[in-house]
Amino acid sequence: MDSIVINGGGALHGEIPIAGAKNACLTLMPATLLSDEPLTLTNAPRLSDIRTMTTLLQSLGAEVTSLQHGQVLAMSSHDINNLTADYDIVRKMRASILVLGPMLARHGHAVVSLPGGCAIGARPVDLHLKGLEALGAELELKDGYVHAQAPGGLKGAVVAFPFVSVGATENVLMAATLAKGTTVLKNAAREPEIVDLAQCLRQMGAQIEGEGTNTITVQGVDSLHGATHPVVVDRIELGTYMLAPAIAGGEVECLGGRLDLVAAFVEKLDEAGISVEETPRGLRVARRNGRVRAVDVTTEPFPGFPTDLQAQMMALLCTAEGTSVLEETIFENRFMHAPELMRMGARIDVQGGTASVSGVERLKGAPVMATDLRASVSLILAGLAAEGETVVSRVYHLDRGYEKVEEKLGACGARIERIKDR
């Protein structure tokens, strides 16, 4: 298992290109299952999660060709010959459940392993299943797999989600495009990745209105045709790299960054004393003067402060002047970065879903361990500001969602290198 070594303390200067969104790509790829014509994605990120989704789609008989060093994914599911998504692939990546809705909608049958939990929580998929049942699917759980049938095809319905779920909204939205009649998704997720998916489905001939609001209406059509679609920029990678100059000092321009994708996050950066300005090529970020100020953060569904930036924001607030309170409302166990940050001298008191962070002047480098994707990158950020050497182990978590993090930060002057496992 590779490690990443950071020698902290130096300010950063330069520019960081932001890639296409992992969480958009992971729902756009299964959309190929809705049509027998080719779907091509451009601006795709080069990440291990994308390679896992590629393996899953290929196991179903879809063709997925990675072009231009992985930035273009040319897909076709004309010859699907297997409607079972195996546990040994699904357990590696929960987003695999997103093949269920499309397979069911187009083929009337699907067998998909339940994803199981992950480090940040139990992460059930009951809303996905209830939503598809509302469209007429008959589901049976057996041996850890969902056996789904829709012999006469899916039928449009009103699907009212009891609480916001990104994945359930995506699964039901994709299924609804081929259901007979009208589907209304109520309390739908509003994330930019949902908007991106809806735009891609519309290019494929779907009839969708209201994406980005909490009510999405879909008129089912008989079939969808092919399309070419650019993956939206990754707002979580963007927010992560915006925090690099905030925590280490200096000034960095995040190329491709869009303010509308990170408005709630930028509001908090501004409160903390970080300046963000729009440039013709993206967002330029610098620490205004002196120490960062403490701010309180509560994670919420979009357009609120994203849970996927909570760990990274905590790293910044570990060095702020004053005490910050972070409330994690989306996942039940998303503070595993806290004990690792405390090994670096951070002062954090975790009580259930709330963490109080009393800022310290400087963190101290230490050997720490990555536990999940966003926790691992928060340790990298902390290492940039810490005195001395930080070694982050188990960085396979990191590679799921961040392309060449050491190269992107190294190009801005960070003293960071990857140590390949012997």
- Which residues are tagged catalytic? 118
How far CA 58 is from CA of 51, 89, 101, 236, in Å, comes to 10, 11, 17, 28
CB of 48 to ligand EPZ, least distance (A): 12
Interface characters, 144-183, with ligand EPZ (x: CB under 6 A): ---------------------xxxx---------------
Query: CA-to-CA distance for 105 and 207, rounded, in angstroms?
Result: 15
CB neighbours of residue 143 within 10 Å: 9
Residue 125 binds to ligand EPZ (criterion: CB under 6 A): yes
Which residue is closest to ligand EPZ by CB?
167
Q: Using CB under 6 A, which of 16, 25, 26, 274 touches ligand EPZ?
A: 26
Q: Using CB under 6 A, which of 1, 79, 82, 126 touches ligand EPZ?
A: 126
Q: Which is nearer to ligand EPZ, 363 or 375 (CB)?
A: 375
Query: CA-to-CA distance for 132 and 125, rounded, in angstroms?
Result: 11
Query: Site residues for ligand EPZ, window 286-325 (CB under 6 A)?
Result: 307-308
Query: CA-to-CA distance for 192 and 183, rounded, in angstroms?
Result: 21
Cis before residue 301, ω within 30 degrees of 0?
A: no
Residue 282 binds to ligand EPZ (criterion: CB under 6 A): no
Structure tokens at 419: 């140590």
CB of 307 to ligand EPZ, least distance (A): 5
Q: Total number of residues binding ligand EPZ (CB under 6 A)?
A: 21
Residue 374 binds to ligand EPZ (criterion: CB under 6 A): yes
Query: CA-to-CA distance for 233 and 256, rounded, in angstroms?
Result: 7
Residue 262 binds to ligand EPZ (criterion: CB under 6 A): no
CB of 249 to ligand EPZ, least distance (A): 27
**Helix, strand, or coil (residue 121):** strand
Q: Which is nearer to ligand EPZ, 128 or 284 (CB)?
A: 128
Q: Using CB under 6 A, which of 344, 401, 402, 418 touches ligand EPZ?
A: 401
Residue 397 binds to ligand EPZ (criterion: CB under 6 A): no
Query: Site residues for ligand EPZ, window 322-341 (CB under 6 A)?
Result: 330-331
Distance in angstroms between the alpha carbons of the first and the last residue of the chain:
8
How far CA 369 is from CA of 2, 155, 190, 261, in Å, comes to 11, 48, 33, 30
Query: CA-to-CA distance for 139 and 160, rounded, in angstroms?
Result: 19
The site for ligand EPZ (CB under 6 A) is made up of 23, 26, 95, 121, 123-128, 165-168, 307-308, 330-331, 373-374, 401
